[in-house]
Amino acid sequence: SRFETCWPALMKDSHGVIIIFNPDLPSHLKEIEMWYSCFVQQQPLLDNQCLLVAHHKPGSAGDTENLSLAYPLNKLKLIHSNLEDDPEDVRMEFMKYFRSIITFINESREREEMSIIS
């Protein structure tokens, strides 16, 4: 991708990664493996710092039940978004995710401070 030169700047000091994809496009299912590898595994971030969002376009018969992702993507938190049906659900999931990232950052900071003190 022509933006690959920017990736290190994007990744620097990041605490979380949200990968949004269209589950109706087979090419996206291959691409999210590459995004996960570059932005999560190589950083390295923990899997719970990553959120997958399967975004269903309006009018697409989004099959939310049978989207089975291969390992290691199947270990990640996956939410389905369809802004026609349930924008509130998606908002709540994002809030939960952001809260978990903030908790993670605070705990990491406390561990660092304790290691400096001791």
* pLDDT tens by residue, 13-55: 889 999 999 998 888 888 999 999 989 998 889 999 999 999 9
Into how many domains does the chain fold?
Answer: 1
| Residues 50-94: tens digit of each pLDDT | 999 999 887 766 555 668 888 899 999 999 988 777 778 889 999
C-alpha 21/C-alpha 12 separation (Å) is: 23
Q: Quick check: is 43 in a domain?
A: yes
Range of the domain at 37: 12-117
Residue 106 placed within a domain = yes
Establish if 36 belongs to a structural domain: yes
- Report the CATH number at residue 28: 3.40.50
Does residue 1 lie in a domain region? Answer: no
Q: Does residue 4 lie within any of the structural domains? A: no
Q: pLDDT grade, residue 1 (50/70/90)?
A: low
Residue 67 belongs to some domain of the structure: yes
- Cα 98 to chain centroid distance, Å, stands at 11
The beta strands (E) that lie in 2-105 are given as 17-21, 50-55, 77-81
DSSP state, residue 55: E
Examine residue 98 and state whether it is found in any structural domain, yes or no: yes
Cβ pair 39, 94 in contact under 8 A = no
How many CB atoms are located within 10 Å of the residue 85 CB? 14
Q: What is the model's pTM?
A: 0.82
